[in-house]
Structure 1
């Protein structure tokens, strides 16, 4: 009888253990409460894993270090722009030739190519074969010596060109326009000229569209004038130009650098304190620098305008960490 009771007890032991484990499994580890509601970055950023807009938190000091800059969204204009290229040229009527009045040997040269000279300055001395006296040859205008066409000791003929002087304080910009663009670009519209060497820009106005066509390029030439008192704009150099044909006002505009793509949608990142939220937007007209926002953004909201891709990457990092 005792042996029978012992066998029954042994056979009931596994059933009892399963019941105990099942009961323990029904208890939830209190440390797991709230799990899955947010993801904490090592740097203290938080990403909300519940259904809602993608967002992240970036401390102000970290944002400043990363170069993240925000600005309020507001009204602006979208420009109808045309990008063209052109060449710099001296302005007609702002050049002069210095010539010998009488034939004779050149006894002195007082200027070289590239020198700045002032009106009345003597550039050379010539001994006249007629009078056997030396006379000075002066420049009639102020400017820069563009060329020197005589050597010391050479015999200059009467009327021979010794120097070419150019007043380069202003230059013409001849812009070459092709195809249908010629129908939209007229005199009086603003243009921004950019040097290709260093990217420096200068605003100007198209003064005229020349009536002829450039034979070699079959382009129409539009002309503007730029200031060159620093001498850094050089005749013959190629330049880029952006011609603004028309401007259309828009209630809200953002820089193109503010717009990113997430899951096939255009988004901007709206900042509220340390929180950065990806806001889907619908864009309207755009130009080379900015786009109109027709839906999804209110005037005055702070939008990331520099390093928006850094914010996008941080949101993506938060999402990837949660998935794992």
Structure 2
């Protein structure tokens, strides 16, 4: 059984002062030695009250560890206001669908249909050039005008796709032969190409969902194709995704988490909630203002949740953010008790 006592320091001070005044009034003929003894006693009490007020003013003084009970010093009490200030947050243990994943690695690429090499139809003199490197163009937009050597008529060169001009080799007054005049690329859609080694090939299939991690950003896509890689000991799983917002670039190295199976856990908590106290895995369960470490047995896990086999039941409120702060407070309290 845990016992906590909240005592108003201000109220104690008032009671002490009133008591001292009452004693003085009821004993007007007290001896000098008695008055000095009472004065020393009340001075000591006042010093204790000042020290207590200092502790209450300190944020750490609002956290009182409880060394009693079944788990010893594995419980502590924290005001809700202080917990909020420290970023301590809670969630409710409940049933969750966990995604079992396999981790793969690869890089970003464009599809062959997203890169266009624009040439002149007939050799001739370049009369004008419209866009430059970095300009965005629409499909059918005018790129250049060329005067044909044979007919001496001017014809127009237009963009076959929408995209960005990434290179151009065309200037007014130059002769267009068979060289590429403009390189135009469309990066609105990119492909993540993941290497799938033999040990993973039985698990990874077309149609599965993959979470792509690139530059600390997470994207989601579907495996569209699994194709052989020429002269390589692996297959390539190709995942397309919309790149209009993230604007990632081809060649970037990425990590993929392919969902290969799913299962429902009767009780699961967020992985960030798991802490180790006294060589035991567990979570901090909240009951009003009290946080108690509860050992748990864990099972399977995915990128976010871990299955709890024993120790918790659905409905338990547990700390899912900054639980390490509670652990640190308990360990500090245990160290103080040892000394």
Length-normalised TM-score, structure 1: 0.80
**Secondary structure, counterpart of 1:236 in structure 2:** coil
**Secondary structure, counterpart of 1:93 in structure 2:** helix
| 1:185 alignment partner in structure 2 | 204
Count of residues in Structure 1 that have an aligned counterpart in Structure 2 = 281
Deviates further, 170-179 or 299-308: 170-179
Q: Does 1:298 align with 2:313?
A: yes
Instruction: For residue 52 of structure 1, report the CA deviation from its aligned partner.
Output: 2.1
Give the Cα separation in 1 of the matches to 2:258 and 2:180. Answer: 40
Give the Cα separation in 1 of the matches to 2:323 and 2:287. Answer: 15
Instruction: For residue 231 of structure 1, report the CA deviation from its aligned partner.
Output: 6.4
Gap runs ≥5 in structure 1: 1-30, 32-39
| 2:302 alignment partner in structure 1 | 287
| 1:201 alignment partner in structure 2 | 218
The answer (yes or no) to whether the contact 2:67–2:75 under 8 Å persists in 1 is no
Give the Cα separation in 1 of the matches to 2:161 and 2:77. Answer: 65
From 94, 99, 118, the equivalent of 1:98 is 118
Alignment of 1:253-268 (within 5 A): 253-268=268-283
Structure that is richer in helix per residue: 2
Instruction: For residue 122 of structure 1, report the CA deviation from its aligned partner.
Output: 0.9
Give the Cα separation in 2 of the matches to 1:271 and 1:280. Answer: 14
Give the Cα separation in 1 of the matches to 2:192 and 2:70. Answer: 54
Gap runs ≥5 in structure 2: 1-44, 46-55
Q: Does 1:174 align with 2:193?
A: yes
Alignment of 1:173-252 (within 5 A): 173-196=192-215, 199-210=216-227, 212-216=228-232, 218-230=233-245, 232-252=247-267
Q: How much is the aligned-residue C-alpha RMSD, in angstroms?
A: 2.1
Alignment of 1:71-220 (within 5 A): 71-157=91-177, 159-196=178-215, 199-210=216-227, 212-216=228-232, 218-220=233-235
| Bigger Rg, structure 1 or 2 | 1
The answer (yes or no) to whether the contact 2:128–2:171 under 8 Å persists in 1 is no
Instruction: For residue 115 of structure 1, report the CA deviation from its aligned partner.
Output: 1.9
From 81, 88, 111, the equivalent of 1:61 is 81
**Secondary structure, counterpart of 1:171 in structure 2:** strand
Instruction: For residue 291 of structure 1, report the CA deviation from its aligned partner.
Output: 1.0
The answer (yes or no) to whether the contact 1:284–1:294 under 8 Å persists in 2 is yes
Deviates further, 65-74 or 45-54: 45-54
What are the Cα deviations for residues 149-199 of structure 1, in whole angstroms up to 9, with x where unaligned?
Answer: 334432111x44211223332222211112311111111111011223xx2
**Secondary structure, counterpart of 1:183 in structure 2:** coil
